[in-house]
Structure 1
Amino acid sequence: MPTVLITGANRGIGLEFARQYAAEGWEVLAANRTPFKPMDIVDLGPGTRELRYDGLNEASVADVAARLKGHAIDVAIMNAGYGDDQQLAPEEIHEAHWQRMMLTNTWAPFRLATLIEENLKAGEKKTLVEISSLAASNGTYTGKRQFVYRASKAALNQLWRSLAAEWKPWGCICLALRPGLVQTRMTDYAGELLPEESVTQLRQVIANATPEQSGMHINYDGATVPW
């Protein structure tokens, strides 16, 4: 049975990842700060294991890593993120906004990734995914504001690019994936894609990923997103 680790699997894209992998018989390790709704965990079935995870609490992160020790992970999806305060004018941005966004969107996924290196080495697929955004593209995105959010996702992409180089010797494929504008709470349910549409295509990208794509920023439809 292949195994997938998903952070922030209790809602939105993360929950849809959990549903689709569980439906195909994968073992799903769901690292959530907020628990699943009772019916969601029932629907996911006995192959799903929920772990309490707060990416901004080092004790919580270390506890998750300890619980996973010796457990092979084929695919790890760092999905948990934060998107509020995106519409602040530049003069409205304060240190608190910067700190929360950068720690949640950049530091937390990177930190957990470093602690599950041995788990990924033991897995067959050895694939590490972060959920990025078109806002991280310096050459493409022209939207207004989103100052700190853009910075946090661009920085995360660069960390994944560095991990791709660092972990290339043992075969890890590190992917920065753009899910598209998905109808979730983060987008106020105003998007071009339903979660199931986005995740279905993202899973195809993950399944077909090659070592040559490691470190790249890739769209949900498989197209390369310019840096």
Structure 2
Amino acid sequence: MPTVLITGANRGIGLEFARQYAADGWEVLAANRTPFKPMDIVELGPGARELRYDGLNEASVADVATRLRGHAIDVAIMNAGIDDGKELAPEEIDEAHWQRMMLTNTWAPFRLATLIEENLKAGEKKTLVEISSLAASNGTYAGKRHFTYRASKAALNQLWRSLAMEWKPWGCICLALRPGREQTRMLDNAGGPTPEESVSAMRQVVENATSEQSGMHINYDGTSVPW
């Protein structure tokens, strides 16, 4: 049974990843700060295991790493992150806002990734994924505001590029995946993929990924995102 680790698997894209991998017979390790809703964990079935995980609490992160010791992981998906929705002007950004965004979106996934290196080495697919955003792209994104969110995701992409180089000798494939602007009630975006379509497409990217793609920023449809 292949194994996938997913952070922030209790809702949104993370939950959809968990559902699809569980439906295909994978063991799902769900590292969540907030517990699953009872109906969601039942739906995932006996192959799902939930781990309490707070990426900004070092004791919690270390505990997860300890619980996973000796457990091979084929695919790790660092999905947990925040976009607080505050379209702050440059002069409105304070240190607390900056630290929260950068620590949650950049430091936390990187820190956990470094602690599960041996787990990934023991897995067959050896694939490490971070959920990025078009906002991380210096070449194509033209939106205003979201200064700290953009900075946090761009920095995360750079860390993944560095890990791709660092872990290349043992065959790790590090991918920065953009899920697209999914259709949701909040966004009322009829033109983008549904969460189900986005996750299904990203899973295909992960399944077919090659070492040459390691360190790249890739769209859910498999195309490269300039950054």
Give the alignment's TM-score, normalised by structure 2. 0.97
Identity in percent: 86
CA distance in 2: counterparts of 1:110 and 1:22, whole angstroms: 25
The size of the alignment, in residue pairs, is 225
Deviation at 1:88, TM superposition (A): 1.0
Task: Identify the residue that residue 179 of structure 2 maps to in structure 1.
Answer: 179
The separation in 2 between residues aligned to 1:46 and 1:105, in whole angstroms, is 30
The correspondence of residues 15-164 of structure 1 with structure 2, limited to 5 A, is 15-164=15-164
Corresponding residue for residue 9 of structure 1: 9
Q: Which of 168, 173, 188 is matched with 1:190 structurally?
A: 188
Q: What secondary structure sits across from 1:99 in the alignment? A: helix
Contact persistence 1:12–1:184 (CA under 8 A): no
One-letter identity of the residue aligned with 1:208:
N
Conservation of the 8 A alpha-carbon contact between 1:85 and 1:97: no
State the SS of the aligned residue for 1:128: strand
Contact 1:65–1:116 (8 Å) recurs in 2: yes
Partners of 1:37 and 1:193 in 2: CA distance: 25
Q: Deviations over 1:113-154 (max 9, x none)?
A: 000000000000000000000000001101000100000000
Aligned to 2:121, what secondary structure does the other structure show? helix
For the aligned residue pairs, the C-alpha RMSD in angstroms reads: 1.0
Structure 1 unmatched runs, 5+: none
Instruction: Flag the 1:224–1:86 CA change in 2: closer, same or farther, 3 A.
Output: farther
Letter aligned with residue 22 of structure 2: A
State the shift of 1:193 in Å.
2.3
Unaligned runs of 5+ in 2: none
Distance 1:218 1:12 in 2: 20
Question: C-alpha deviations, 1:25-80, integer Å up to 9, x for none?
Answer: 00000000000000000000000000000000000000000000000000000000
Q: What is the distance in 2 between the residues matched to 1:166 and 1:160?
A: 10
Letter in 2 for 1:152: S
